[in-house]
Amino acid sequence: MTDNHANPFSRRRFLKLSALGVAAVPLGNLLLHSSARAEAPKVDEKDPMAQQLGYVPDATKADTQKFPKRAGADGAKQFCKNCQLYTGAADAEWGPCAIFPGKVVSANGWCNSWVPKAG
């Protein structure tokens, strides 16, 4: 007796939950695609523009003969993370740079376009 009354409720509830589940799938896909978009490709140091600017993901490997700007004690303080053109989060290992749109550079990288971060 109680089963007959409980079943329509359960069925209705099941259908509601199913509808929510169906709605959740596209939302999940959207979130997945959003996070995939956030993972921009890393700048390849062999990229012609990167080579021209002497970009290296490890600033300590910068060619100071070719790019004397990073030579000496002051030069050794230059990193993408303290460059004005870098917009990565303070604790991120990689972040966007205005010179390389759609890609990310290493926070510990460097290139000859380095400019000190303002204030």
Which residues form the interface with ligand SF4 (CB under 6 A)? 55, 80, 83, 85-86, 97, 99, 105, 109-111, 113-114
Q: Are 57 and 42 in contact (CB under 8 A)?
A: yes
State the nearest-atom distance from the C-beta of 26 to ligand SF4, in Å: 36
State the nearest-atom distance from the C-beta of 19 to ligand SF4, in Å: 48
> Which C-beta is closer to ligand SF4: that of 23 or that of 115?
115
State the nearest-atom distance from the C-beta of 38 to ligand SF4, in Å: 18
> Which C-beta is closer to ligand SF4: that of 27 or that of 95?
95
**3 state SS of 42:** strand
Contacts of 108 (CB under 8 A, 6+ apart): 57, 58, 59, 79, 80, 81, 93
Q: How many whole angstroms separate alpha carbon 49 and alpha carbon 108?
A: 18
